[in-house]
Protein backbone atom coordinates (compact mmCIF):
# COMPACT_ATOMS: atom_id res chain seq x y z
CA UNK A 1 0.00 0.00 0.00
CA UNK A 2 1.38 3.40 -0.94
CA UNK A 3 1.87 5.72 2.01
CA UNK A 4 -0.75 8.48 2.25
CA UNK A 5 0.34 12.05 1.60
CA UNK A 6 -0.02 14.59 4.40
CA UNK A 7 -1.72 17.64 2.87
CA UNK A 8 -0.83 20.67 4.99
CA UNK A 9 -3.41 23.44 4.57
CA UNK A 10 -2.45 27.04 5.35
CA UNK A 11 -3.53 30.59 4.59
CA UNK A 12 -7.27 31.02 4.47
CA UNK A 13 -9.39 34.14 4.50
CA UNK A 14 -9.44 35.10 8.20
CA UNK A 15 -7.49 37.99 9.78
CA UNK A 16 -4.97 35.36 10.91
CA UNK A 17 -3.96 34.36 7.37
CA UNK A 18 -0.30 35.35 7.70
CA UNK A 19 0.02 33.56 11.03
CA UNK A 20 -1.48 30.46 9.42
CA UNK A 21 0.98 30.57 6.53
CA UNK A 22 3.87 30.63 9.00
CA UNK A 23 2.41 27.68 10.91
CA UNK A 24 1.77 25.73 7.75
CA UNK A 25 5.25 26.14 6.32
CA UNK A 26 6.88 25.09 9.61
CA UNK A 27 4.57 22.09 10.01
CA UNK A 28 5.06 20.96 6.40
CA UNK A 29 8.85 20.98 6.76
CA UNK A 30 8.61 18.93 9.96
CA UNK A 31 6.02 16.50 8.54
CA UNK A 32 8.27 15.82 5.55
CA UNK A 33 10.78 14.06 7.81
CA UNK A 34 8.31 11.24 8.50
CA UNK A 35 5.64 11.33 5.75
CA UNK A 36 5.21 12.24 2.10
CA UNK A 37 3.96 15.82 2.38
CA UNK A 38 2.28 18.38 0.12
CA UNK A 39 1.64 22.04 0.94
CA UNK A 40 -1.68 23.67 -0.06
CA UNK A 41 -2.35 27.42 0.18
CA UNK A 42 -6.04 28.05 0.84
CA UNK A 43 -7.31 31.17 -0.96
CA UNK A 44 -11.09 30.88 -0.45
CA UNK A 45 -13.65 29.32 1.86
CA UNK A 46 -13.51 26.11 -0.12
CA UNK A 47 -11.42 22.96 -0.45
CA UNK A 48 -8.19 23.61 -2.34
CA UNK A 49 -7.92 22.03 -5.75
CA UNK A 50 -6.07 18.74 -5.96
CA UNK A 51 -7.14 17.11 -2.69
CA UNK A 52 -7.71 13.40 -3.27
CA UNK A 53 -9.58 11.38 -0.58
CA UNK A 54 -7.78 8.24 -1.77
CA UNK A 55 -4.31 9.75 -1.30
CA UNK A 56 -4.39 12.67 1.11
CA UNK A 57 -4.72 13.12 4.86
CA UNK A 58 -5.23 16.77 5.76
CA UNK A 59 -3.29 18.51 8.51
CA UNK A 60 -4.83 21.96 8.72
CA UNK A 61 -3.06 24.99 10.15
CA UNK A 62 -5.89 27.37 9.21
CA UNK A 63 -6.74 29.79 12.01
CA UNK A 64 -9.91 31.72 12.78
CA UNK A 65 -13.16 31.80 10.82
CA UNK A 66 -13.61 28.91 8.37
CA UNK A 67 -10.38 27.33 9.64
CA UNK A 68 -11.29 26.54 13.24
CA UNK A 69 -15.07 26.98 13.33
CA UNK A 70 -15.99 23.69 11.65
CA UNK A 71 -16.41 25.13 8.14
CA UNK A 72 -13.38 23.49 6.56
CA UNK A 73 -13.98 20.34 8.61
CA UNK A 74 -17.52 19.95 7.25
CA UNK A 75 -16.24 20.26 3.68
CA UNK A 76 -13.55 17.65 4.32
CA UNK A 77 -16.10 15.27 5.82
CA UNK A 78 -18.49 15.75 2.91
CA UNK A 79 -15.69 15.01 0.46
CA UNK A 80 -14.58 11.93 2.39
CA UNK A 81 -11.13 13.35 3.14
CA UNK A 82 -9.43 12.09 6.31
CA UNK A 83 -8.01 14.85 8.48
CA UNK A 84 -6.22 15.40 11.78
CA UNK A 85 -7.67 17.35 14.67
CA UNK A 86 -11.13 18.01 16.05
CA UNK A 87 -14.11 17.07 13.92
CA UNK A 88 -16.65 19.61 12.67
CA UNK A 89 -18.87 19.40 15.75
CA UNK A 90 -16.06 19.74 18.27
CA UNK A 91 -14.50 22.57 16.26
CA UNK A 92 -17.78 24.48 16.22
CA UNK A 93 -18.27 24.06 19.97
CA UNK A 94 -14.77 25.27 20.83
CA UNK A 95 -14.87 28.21 18.42
CA UNK A 96 -17.98 29.42 20.24
CA UNK A 97 -16.48 30.72 23.47
CA UNK A 98 -19.84 30.88 25.26
CA UNK A 99 -20.73 27.27 24.40
CA UNK A 100 -17.25 26.24 25.54
CA UNK A 101 -17.89 27.95 28.88
CA UNK A 102 -21.18 26.09 29.27
CA UNK A 103 -19.70 22.70 28.38
CA UNK A 104 -16.69 22.92 30.69
CA UNK A 105 -18.49 24.50 33.64
CA UNK A 106 -21.02 21.64 33.53
CA UNK A 107 -18.04 19.34 34.22
CA UNK A 108 -16.69 21.40 37.10
CA UNK A 109 -14.07 23.51 35.29
CA UNK A 110 -14.30 27.12 36.47
CA UNK A 111 -14.87 30.05 34.14
CA UNK A 112 -14.88 33.76 34.93
CA UNK A 113 -18.27 35.37 35.64
CA UNK A 114 -19.54 36.72 32.33
CA UNK A 115 -22.45 37.49 30.06
CA UNK A 116 -23.20 37.10 26.37
CA UNK A 117 -24.67 40.02 24.42
CA UNK A 118 -25.53 41.11 20.90
CA UNK A 119 -23.97 44.36 19.69
CA UNK A 120 -27.34 46.09 19.04
CA UNK A 121 -28.38 45.31 22.63
CA UNK A 122 -25.04 45.86 24.37
CA UNK A 123 -25.17 46.53 28.11
CA UNK A 124 -24.23 49.85 29.65
CA UNK A 125 -20.73 50.21 31.07
CA UNK A 126 -22.18 51.06 34.47
CA UNK A 127 -24.14 47.81 34.54
CA UNK A 128 -21.06 45.75 33.67
CA UNK A 129 -18.82 47.40 36.24
CA UNK A 130 -21.52 46.92 38.87
CA UNK A 131 -21.59 43.21 38.00
CA UNK A 132 -17.89 42.48 37.39
CA UNK A 133 -15.93 45.36 38.90
CA UNK A 134 -13.71 47.95 37.22
CA UNK A 135 -11.62 45.46 35.23
CA UNK A 136 -13.63 43.87 32.42
CA UNK A 137 -12.64 41.75 29.40
CA UNK A 138 -14.51 42.13 26.11
CA UNK A 139 -14.08 39.62 23.28
CA UNK A 140 -16.01 38.46 20.22
CA UNK A 141 -17.81 35.20 20.90
CA UNK A 142 -16.86 33.60 17.58
CA UNK A 143 -13.48 34.79 16.38
CA UNK A 144 -9.89 33.57 16.37
CA UNK A 145 -7.82 33.52 19.51
CA UNK A 146 -7.02 37.07 20.75
CA UNK A 147 -8.69 38.76 17.75
CA UNK A 148 -10.78 41.66 19.04
CA UNK A 149 -9.78 41.10 22.68
CA UNK A 150 -10.02 44.23 24.83
CA UNK A 151 -9.20 44.61 28.52
CA UNK A 152 -10.55 47.68 30.29
CA UNK A 153 -9.56 48.93 33.72
CA UNK A 154 -12.13 51.63 34.37
CA UNK A 155 -15.77 52.40 33.66
CA UNK A 156 -14.71 55.24 31.36
CA UNK A 157 -12.45 52.92 29.38
CA UNK A 158 -15.21 50.35 29.19
CA UNK A 159 -17.60 52.95 27.77
CA UNK A 160 -15.11 53.73 25.01
CA UNK A 161 -14.61 50.05 24.22
CA UNK A 162 -18.34 49.36 24.12
CA UNK A 163 -18.80 52.36 21.86
CA UNK A 164 -16.65 50.66 19.24
CA UNK A 165 -18.78 47.50 19.21
CA UNK A 166 -21.28 47.81 16.39
CA UNK A 167 -21.99 44.28 15.23
CA UNK A 168 -21.71 40.66 16.22
CA UNK A 169 -22.01 38.60 19.37
CA UNK A 170 -19.75 39.44 22.28
CA UNK A 171 -18.78 38.27 25.75
CA UNK A 172 -18.12 40.55 28.71
CA UNK A 173 -16.49 38.91 31.70
CA UNK A 174 -14.76 39.75 34.93
CA UNK A 175 -11.02 40.01 34.49
CA UNK A 176 -9.17 37.39 36.51
CA UNK A 177 -5.88 38.78 37.76
CA UNK A 178 -3.02 36.33 38.05
CA UNK A 179 -0.83 34.16 35.83
CA UNK A 180 -1.70 32.84 32.37
CA UNK A 181 -1.09 29.16 31.69
CA UNK A 182 -1.58 26.91 28.69
CA UNK A 183 -1.63 23.13 28.33
CA UNK A 184 -1.21 21.16 25.12
CA UNK A 185 -3.10 17.89 24.69
CA UNK A 186 -2.27 14.92 22.50
CA UNK A 187 -4.94 12.21 22.05
CA UNK A 188 -6.74 13.86 24.95
CA UNK A 189 -3.81 13.54 27.36
CA UNK A 190 -2.24 16.67 28.80
CA UNK A 191 1.41 17.46 28.11
CA UNK A 192 3.43 20.16 29.86
CA UNK A 193 2.10 23.34 31.47
CA UNK A 194 3.52 26.55 29.97
CA UNK A 195 3.37 29.98 31.60
CA UNK A 196 2.81 33.06 29.42
CA UNK A 197 4.12 36.41 30.71
CA UNK A 198 3.23 39.33 28.39
CA UNK A 199 5.23 42.45 29.18
CA UNK A 200 2.12 44.59 28.69
CA UNK A 201 0.17 42.49 31.18
CA UNK A 202 -2.33 41.41 28.50
CA UNK A 203 -1.74 38.53 26.08
CA UNK A 204 -3.53 40.17 23.16
CA UNK A 205 -2.88 39.80 19.43
CA UNK A 206 0.06 42.21 19.49
CA UNK A 207 1.73 40.55 22.48
CA UNK A 208 1.20 37.11 20.97
CA UNK A 209 2.66 37.80 17.53
CA UNK A 210 5.31 40.47 18.15
CA UNK A 211 8.74 39.09 18.96
CA UNK A 212 10.07 40.13 22.36
CA UNK A 213 6.80 41.29 23.88
CA UNK A 214 6.10 38.08 25.82
CA UNK A 215 8.19 35.71 27.95
CA UNK A 216 7.42 31.99 28.21
CA UNK A 217 8.33 29.46 30.87
CA UNK A 218 8.17 25.82 29.81
CA UNK A 219 7.51 24.19 32.18
CA UNK A 220 5.63 26.80 34.18
CA UNK A 221 7.25 27.73 37.48
CA UNK A 222 4.36 26.53 39.63
CA UNK A 223 3.94 23.78 42.20
CA UNK A 224 3.52 20.17 41.17
CA UNK A 225 0.02 20.24 42.65
CA UNK A 226 -1.05 23.24 40.57
CA UNK A 227 0.50 21.77 37.43
CA UNK A 228 -1.39 18.51 38.00
CA UNK A 229 -4.63 20.45 38.55
CA UNK A 230 -4.10 22.36 35.27
CA UNK A 231 -3.47 19.15 33.35
CA UNK A 232 -6.56 17.50 34.84
CA UNK A 233 -8.73 20.54 34.06
CA UNK A 234 -7.40 20.62 30.49
CA UNK A 235 -8.23 16.93 29.95
CA UNK A 236 -11.71 17.46 31.41
CA UNK A 237 -12.35 20.46 29.13
CA UNK A 238 -11.07 18.55 26.07
CA UNK A 239 -13.51 15.71 26.71
CA UNK A 240 -16.41 18.00 27.68
CA UNK A 241 -16.26 19.82 24.34
CA UNK A 242 -15.95 16.68 22.23
CA UNK A 243 -12.41 17.39 21.06
CA UNK A 244 -10.37 14.88 19.05
CA UNK A 245 -6.65 14.18 18.53
CA UNK A 246 -5.12 17.39 19.92
CA UNK A 247 -5.82 20.91 21.19
CA UNK A 248 -4.46 23.59 23.50
CA UNK A 249 -6.33 24.78 26.58
CA UNK A 250 -5.66 28.20 28.12
CA UNK A 251 -6.21 29.17 31.76
CA UNK A 252 -5.80 32.01 34.20
CA UNK A 253 -4.37 31.03 37.57
CA UNK A 254 -5.84 33.64 39.92
CA UNK A 255 -3.84 35.29 42.65
CA UNK A 256 -5.67 33.14 45.18
CA UNK A 257 -4.71 29.91 43.39
CA UNK A 258 -7.90 29.15 41.46
CA UNK A 259 -7.87 27.99 37.82
CA UNK A 260 -10.25 29.59 35.31
CA UNK A 261 -10.55 28.37 31.74
CA UNK A 262 -10.10 31.03 29.06
CA UNK A 263 -10.62 29.03 25.86
CA UNK A 264 -9.82 25.89 23.90
CA UNK A 265 -7.78 26.32 20.72
CA UNK A 266 -8.40 23.39 18.36
CA UNK A 267 -5.87 24.46 15.71
CA UNK A 268 -3.11 26.14 17.71
CA UNK A 269 -0.09 27.84 16.20
CA UNK A 270 2.41 25.40 14.74
CA UNK A 271 5.74 27.18 14.46
CA UNK A 272 8.50 25.46 16.38
CA UNK A 273 8.37 28.30 18.93
CA UNK A 274 4.56 28.18 19.33
CA UNK A 275 2.84 27.23 22.57
CA UNK A 276 1.77 23.70 21.65
CA UNK A 277 5.34 22.70 20.69
CA UNK A 278 6.57 24.29 23.94
CA UNK A 279 4.14 22.12 25.88
CA UNK A 280 5.29 19.04 23.96
CA UNK A 281 8.97 19.71 24.65
CA UNK A 282 8.16 19.57 28.36
CA UNK A 283 7.37 15.86 27.92
CA UNK A 284 10.28 15.09 25.60
CA UNK A 285 8.70 15.56 22.16
CA UNK A 286 10.69 17.71 19.76
CA UNK A 287 8.93 19.48 16.89
CA UNK A 288 9.38 16.72 14.33
CA UNK A 289 8.18 14.06 16.77
CA UNK A 290 5.23 16.22 17.78
CA UNK A 291 4.12 16.71 14.18
CA UNK A 292 4.33 12.96 13.61
CA UNK A 293 2.18 12.31 16.68
CA UNK A 294 -0.37 15.01 15.81
CA UNK A 295 -1.20 13.34 12.51
CA UNK A 296 -0.91 9.73 13.76
CA UNK A 297 -4.60 9.26 14.72
CA UNK A 298 -5.71 10.49 11.29
CA UNK A 299 -3.27 8.08 9.64
CA UNK A 300 -4.88 5.29 11.66
CA UNK A 301 -8.39 6.39 10.63
CA UNK A 302 -7.30 6.58 7.00
CA UNK A 303 -5.95 3.01 7.10
CA UNK A 304 -9.07 1.65 8.80
CA UNK A 305 -11.34 3.29 6.23
CA UNK A 306 -9.35 1.95 3.27
CA UNK A 307 -8.22 -1.57 4.29
CA UNK A 308 -8.19 -2.91 0.71
CA UNK A 309 -6.42 0.04 -0.88
CA UNK A 310 -3.27 -0.89 -2.86
CATH 3.30.470.20 fits 93-110+177-266, yes or no: yes
Render pLDDT for 65-107 as a digit per residue (tens, 0 to 9).
Answer: 999 999 999 999 999 999 999 999 999 999 999 999 999 999 9
Q: Half-sphere exposure of 277 toward its Cβ, with a 13 Å CA cutoff?
A: 16
**Quick one: pLDDT at residue 309?**
47
Mean pLDDT confidence for 100-123: 97
Instruction: Identify whether 209 is a catalytic site residue.
Output: yes
**Quick one: pLDDT at residue 235?**
98
Render pLDDT for 164-184 as a digit per residue (tens, 0 to 9).
Answer: 999 999 999 999 999 999 999
**Quick one: pLDDT at residue 147?**
74
| Residue 134 predicted with pLDDT over 50 | yes
**Quick one: pLDDT at residue 207?**
64
Instruction: Identify whether 68 is a catalytic site residue.
Output: no
114-174: CATH superfamily:
ATP-grasp fold, A domain (3.30.1490.20)
Instruction: Identify whether 246 is a catalytic site residue.
Output: no
- 2-6, 185-189, 234-238: range with lowest mean pLDDT: 2-6
Active site residue: 20, 23, 60, 145, which one? 145
Q: Half-sphere exposure of 279 toward its Cβ, with a 13 Å CA cutoff?
A: 30
Percent of the chain scoring above 90 in pLDDT: 88
Active site residue: 209, 235, 293, 301, which one? 209
Domains of the chain by residue range = 5-85+288-305, 93-110+177-266, 114-174
- 15-29, 118-132, 134-148, 230-244: range with lowest mean pLDDT: 134-148
Pick the CATH number of 5-85+288-305 from 3.30.450.70, 3.40.190.10, 3.40.50.20, 1.10.3720.10: 3.40.50.20
Instruction: Identify whether 16 is a catalytic site residue.
Output: yes
Phi, psi of 195 (to 5 degrees): -100, 135
Given pLDDT bands bounded at 50, 70 and 90, which one contains residue 211? confident
For the ranges 76-90, 192-206, 209-223, the maximum mean pLDDT occurs at 76-90
Task: Please give the mean pLDDT across all residues of the chain.
Answer: 94
Question: Which of 88, 64, 93 minimizes the C-alpha distance to 77?
Answer: 88
**Quick one: pLDDT at residue 148?**
83
Given pLDDT bands bounded at 50, 70 and 90, which one contains residue 310? very low
Given pLDDT bands bounded at 50, 70 and 90, which one contains residue 212? confident
Contact 204, 227 (CB under 8 A): no
Active site residue: 101, 231, 248, 281, which one? 248
Amino acid sequence: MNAPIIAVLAGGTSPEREVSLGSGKAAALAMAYTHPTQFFTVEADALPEGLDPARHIVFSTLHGIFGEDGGMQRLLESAGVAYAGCDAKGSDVCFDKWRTRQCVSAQGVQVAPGRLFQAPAKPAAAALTAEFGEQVVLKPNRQGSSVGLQVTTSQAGLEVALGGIRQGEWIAEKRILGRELTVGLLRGRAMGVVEIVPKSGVFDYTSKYTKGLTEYFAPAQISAELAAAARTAAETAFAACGCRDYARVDFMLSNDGELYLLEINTLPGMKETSLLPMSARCVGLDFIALCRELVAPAVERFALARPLRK
